[in-house]
Amino acid sequence: MRLSIIPTTLLAAFGCGPSSTPSLPEPPPASVPAVHDTFADAAFLSVESQQVTAYAWTPSRSSFAAVELHDADSRSESNCIALSDPEWSRISFTFPAAFFDNAVLEIVHGVDAPPDCPPWQWPAVQVRINDSVLAESLRPAAAAGGLNRFEISKYLQPGQNTIRLRPLGGKGEYLLQSLRVRIADSAAALIPTDPGSPFPPEDATVLRVFFEDGRQAGDMEVATDYLNKDAQCGRFRFFAKERSTLKATCNVPDPAGTATLLLHHLSSMVLGEPLNGQSPVSIDLNGIPVATSLDAGAHSATPDRIDVSAFVRRGKNTITISLAEGASAQYELLAMSLVLAR
């Protein structure tokens, strides 16, 4: 079988610095159902501080330059927008960006599905930024309050930018509760500090795979195919389209509560390619498509988080990450964590 190998041009653009254990990303909201409370009033005023510019939206208020809805239903009782028709339903958010060394997109969403509908049949959503696809499909993992956070710096451009969400097929309706973009001149400025809601919570179970002192470490059993496991640089390199695969298996004694998948990853840089290289991967949890063709939104290592609460089960759980057909650059995974909290 012929392999489609990603070119190595500028593969190590950011070097191979000392191997270390990446820190866990920012804390989630103090209460998942009250996620709108995490958007401070300043975010809705689009106030530029010395470090951060924020744009935020909920159905009741917005600080984006423009928000356009097509074939969308407002649900005032649950403070969300329902998108159900893959052909016609859309929502787009437009905002200016003068600098974008570091930028994150936060989406809080859920589903309105029949009670007997299994999670793998819930509707998903496509996420586009300007003319590029950040995620071909992203599947909510909770009826409401599922928080997802993605680095998007390489997708932004000077001037006006537009984020578009389109529902995909499934049983039920896709529900969008809130969306926020934060742009800063430093990554540290995008990490909120909230002593009242540390992440992971004190009682959380964190299952990890990472590199430490030049060797693979963690709580998960890992199997790979067509990967370069670079222990010295502390990362797995995915280089073969539709063949490079990592499977991480762990045991979950009690799946009650929320589950968050944390990916500390990057897209390697290949000059001359769109966005200087894209590294979309597909992510499954126990055979359920969590995300399809999800691209790492930066060429330097960043932490992304995906809600997977409905997909975790008691006992053996397997997370599968595979390099998608549309990749033009290698995908590099430095660490992965499954955070289980009540």
What confidence score (pLDDT) does residue 26 get? 42
d(CA 285, CA 321) in angstroms, rounded, equals 9
What confidence score (pLDDT) does residue 21 get? 45
What confidence score (pLDDT) does residue 40 get? 44
Residue 42 φ/ψ, nearest 5 degrees: -60, -35
Residue 100 φ/ψ, nearest 5 degrees: -155, 45
What confidence score (pLDDT) does residue 203 get? 79
Instruction: Decide if 13 is inside a domain.
Output: no
Print burial letters for 248-276: b (CB count within 10 Å at least 16), e (below 16). bebebeebeebbbbbbbbbbbbbeeeebb
What confidence score (pLDDT) does residue 25 get? 42
What confidence score (pLDDT) does residue 245 get? 98
Strands 235-238 and 245-252, sheet pairing:
unpaired
Looking at the structure, do residues 241 and 136 belong to the same domain, yes or no?
no
In which residue ranges of the chain is pLDDT below 70? 1-50, 100, 192-200
Q: pLDDT, tens digit, for every residue of 45-65? A: 444 555 788 999 999 999 999
CA neighbours closer than 13 Å in the CB half-sphere of residue 196: 4
What does the block give as tokens for 310?
A: 């409905």
Looking at the structure, do residues 147 and 214 belong to the same domain, yes or no?
no
Looking at the structure, do residues 90 and 221 belong to the same domain, yes or no?
no
Q: pLDDT, tens digit, for every residue of 197-236? A: 566 677 788 999 999 888 999 999 999 999 999 988 999 9
Q: Domain total for the chain?
A: 2
What confidence score (pLDDT) does residue 251 get? 95
What confidence score (pLDDT) does residue 342 get? 81
Which of 141, 172, 195 delimits the end of a domain?
Answer: 195
Structural domain span for residue 311:
200-342
Looking at the structure, do residues 51 and 154 belong to the same domain, yes or no?
yes
Q: Judging by beta carbons within 10 Å of its beta carbon (0-12, 13-18, 19+), is residue 230 exposed, middle or buried?
A: middle
What confidence score (pLDDT) does residue 199 get? 67
Q: Hey, how many other C-beta atoms are within 10 angstroms of the C-beta on 336?
A: 24
What confidence score (pLDDT) does residue 193 get? 52
